[in-house]
Amino acid sequence: MTRCLDCGAERSADQCSACGLTSAAAEVLLRRRLMLRTAWFLVGAVLFLPASQLFPPLELDAILIFIGVMFFLVLGLGVWVERRARHHLEVEALKRVYFGFVPVPWLLAALLFANGKFDTAPPTRQVTRVVGKFSMPGVLRSNRLVVTSWREGQRFERVPVDRNDYDRFQPGDSVLVQVQHGLAGIPWIYGVYRQ
Ligand SMILES: [Zn+2]
């Protein structure tokens, strides 16, 4: 059984009875759609980086690793769909999974934005000590203060800070970290202050 690459209907002749496309035309359309959706996915993933720094989650590094792994898995899936289509193999299920992942970076960026923007819960202030810091170079410079954790079962926190705070604090400094609860329950960092 083969399915039309464009509309997914079962196809017994070269021309699809549902959408009227020949298999060659359907393949061209599928490739165009794959490219468009992939572009959307890439733009979303790129925009996610600055968006995630507006109300930076406490677990930003874990979130970025998750996004990074997902990014390569999804792109790999896209390449797989394209390759199968080129060999005229069944792609319908894979295509749906792939298209389903396309909005995920956009949704995650929106979730993190809403989590901080509409957060009305009172903040908590944690007294802690800076034990280290590191800066990740790149287009989007990313700075972290490593502080002793206030959470149970956790030794350190990697607190995302802006360039100014990164330069201002040194290992050994006692600081106040203002943590917001987050609308969606994702704790985020409001700021770091000198005690
Ligand atoms: Zn069709």
112: CB partners within 8 A, 6+ apart: 51, 52, 54, 55, 57, 63, 186, 188
Residue type, 101: F
- The CATH architecture that domain 124-194 belongs to is Beta Barrel (2.40)
Q: List the alpha helices (DSSP H) in the chain.
A: 23-51, 60-86, 92-101, 104-117, 163-168
23-64 confidence digits (pLDDT tens): 999 999 999 999 999 999 999 999 998 899 999 999 999 999
What's the CA-to-centroid distance between 126 and ligand 1, angstroms? 59
146: CB partners within 8 A, 6+ apart: 130, 131, 132, 133, 134, 156, 157, 158, 159
What's the CA-to-centroid distance between 86 and ligand 1, angstroms? 16
What's the CA-to-centroid distance between 40 and ligand 1, angstroms? 24
pLDDT confidence of 138, banded at 50, 70, 90?
Answer: confident
Q: Over pLDDT 90: what percentage of the chain?
A: 85
Inform me whether the pLDDT recorded for 141 exceeds 80.
no
| pLDDT computed for residue 88 by the predictor | 85
What's the CA-to-centroid distance between 32 and ligand 1, angstroms? 15
What mean pLDDT value characterizes the chain?
93
What's the CA-to-centroid distance between 11 and ligand 1, angstroms? 8
What's the CA-to-centroid distance between 95 and ligand 1, angstroms? 14
Cα 57 from chain centroid (whole Å): 13
**Helices 23-51 and 92-101, packing angle to 10 deg:** 20
| HSE-CB of 41 using CA atoms within 13 angstroms | 23
Residue where the block lists tokens 């502080």: 147
What's the CA-to-centroid distance between 4 and ligand 1, angstroms? 5
What's the CA-to-centroid distance between 83 and ligand 1, angstroms? 19
| Span 125-149, average pLDDT | 91
Q: For the beta carbon of residue 100, count every other beta carbon within 10 angstroms.
A: 10
What's the CA-to-centroid distance between 153 and ligand 1, angstroms? 55
| pLDDT computed for residue 36 by the predictor | 96
| HSE-CB of 162 using CA atoms within 13 angstroms | 9
Helix (H, G, I), strand (E, B) or coil at 2: strand
- Alpha-carbon dihedral sign for residues 11, 17, 19, 20: positive
| pLDDT computed for residue 148 by the predictor | 97
115-132 confidence digits (pLDDT tens): 999 999 999 999 999 999
Inform me whether the pLDDT recorded for 1 exceeds 70.
no
What's the CA-to-centroid distance between 74 and ligand 1, angstroms? 25
What's the CA-to-centroid distance between 18 and ligand 1, angstroms? 5
| HSE-CB of 73 using CA atoms within 13 angstroms | 10
What's the CA-to-centroid distance between 22 and ligand 1, angstroms? 8
The structural domains of the chain, with segments of one domain joined by +, span 2-117, 124-194
Cα–Cα distances in angstroms (integers) from residue 90 to residues 1, 2, 42, 84, 86, in the given order: 9, 7, 25, 7, 10
